[in-house]
Amino acid sequence: MSYAFEPVRDMGCIIRAERNGDPRGWLAEIYNAEIFAAAGVPGFVQDNISRSSEAGTVRGLHFQFPPHQQGKLFRVARGAVFNVAVDLRGPGFGQVDQRVLDDPTVWIYLEPGVAHGVQTLEAEVELHYKLTARFEPRALGALRYDDSALGIAWPITPDRSRLSPRDLAARSLADLEGAF
């Protein structure tokens, strides 16, 4: 099996797994610790699954404050999302990466200090995450999904009913400068 690694600005990388198919369908190896480590993707201590039932649901932009920041390896196992990453670190502060993810053989790795969020583009979306640090509730942070400084072009206008109270009360980008 082989993989293609493409940079995501200075925030991480996109990892595309090779599909091997025949008339019955296809098979892909979607994770190989040795190959990922050789490409600079670290090891992981926690795996999570998230499921959203409605299109237009926004989750994020989430991160953990130092010293508990997490690197995240993320993929869409089912459905499609509009994926957003925002660099909260030094020289890259405020850089935004926006893209649609809809292929279960594609991972995106985001380094510690990068806020991450998604908007579901269809119903019944399932997401898989691998994290480099454990969840620490006291270190949890959220960046406002609608901060005008970010210029995020959400494909579906976010509806307040599809946002968590934490995401509605999140901080602005300006409030986070120097936090990492």
* CA 106 – CA 132 distance, rounded (Å): 19
Catalytic one of 62, 109, 116, 145: 62
At a CB cut-off of 8 Å and minimum separation 6, what does 63 contact? 69, 70, 88, 113, 114, 115, 116, 141, 142, 143
Region for residue 94 given its phi and psi (left: phi exceeds 0; alpha: psi -120 to 50; beta: otherwise): left
The 10s digit of each residue's pLDDT in 100-114 is 999 999 999 999 999
* CA 109 – CA 164 distance, rounded (Å): 24
Predicted confidence at residue 158, as pLDDT, reads 82
How far is CA 63 from each of CA 53, 67, 75, rounded to the nearest angstrom? 23, 12, 17
Based on the residue annotation, tell me whether 109 is a catalytic residue of this protein: no
Catalytic one of 31, 68, 128, 129: 129
Say which residue the tokens 């957003």 belong to: 84
Based on the residue annotation, tell me whether 129 is a catalytic residue of this protein: yes
Predicted confidence at residue 30, as pLDDT, reads 86
How far is CA 151 from each of CA 63, 75, 92, 94, rounded to the nearest angstrom? 19, 24, 16, 10
- The first and second tokens of residue 22, run together, are 């025949």
Predicted confidence at residue 41, as pLDDT, reads 92
- pLDDT in 10s for each residue of the chain, 180 residues: 689 999 998 899 999 999 899 898 988 888 999 999 999 999 999 999 999 999 999 999 999 999 999 999 999 999 999 999 999 999 999 999 999 999 999 999 999 999 999 999 999 999 999 999 999 999 999 999 999 999 999 999 887 778 899 999 999 999 999 889
Instruction: Single out the residue of 82, 94, 77, 90 nearest to residue 143, CA to CA.
Output: 94
- The first and second tokens of residue 9, run together, are 């600005």
* CA 104 – CA 53 distance, rounded (Å): 18
Torsion from C-alpha of 72, 77, 78, 82, nearest 10 degrees: 30
Question: Exposed, middle or buried, 2 (CB in 10 Å: 0-12/13-18/19+)?
Answer: exposed
